[in-house]
Amino acid sequence: MVALIMGLKGSGKTKHMIELVNAAVDSEPGAVVLIEKGQKLTYDIHHGARLVNASDYDILGYDMLRGLIAGLHAGNYDISHVFIDSLYKVAGVENTRETETFCEWLDAFGQANNIDFTITISADQATASEKLRRYF
Give the pLDDT mean for 20-32: 97
Contact 117, 17 (CB under 8 A): no
- Within 10 angstroms of residue 32's Cβ, the number of other Cβ atoms is 25
pLDDT at 92: 96
- Within 10 angstroms of residue 27's Cβ, the number of other Cβ atoms is 10
Give the pLDDT mean for 49-76: 97
Q: Provide the number of structural domains found in the chain.
A: 1
State the residue range of the domain holding 47. Answer: 2-133
Which tens digits make up the pLDDT trace of 35-62?
A: 999 999 999 999 999 999 999 999 999 9
Residues in Cβ contact with 79 at an 8 Å cutoff, skipping those fewer than 6 apart: 30, 31, 32, 33, 72, 73, 113, 115
Nearest to 87 by CA among 28, 32, 14: 14
Q: Which CATH number goes with the domain that contains 98?
A: 3.40.50.300
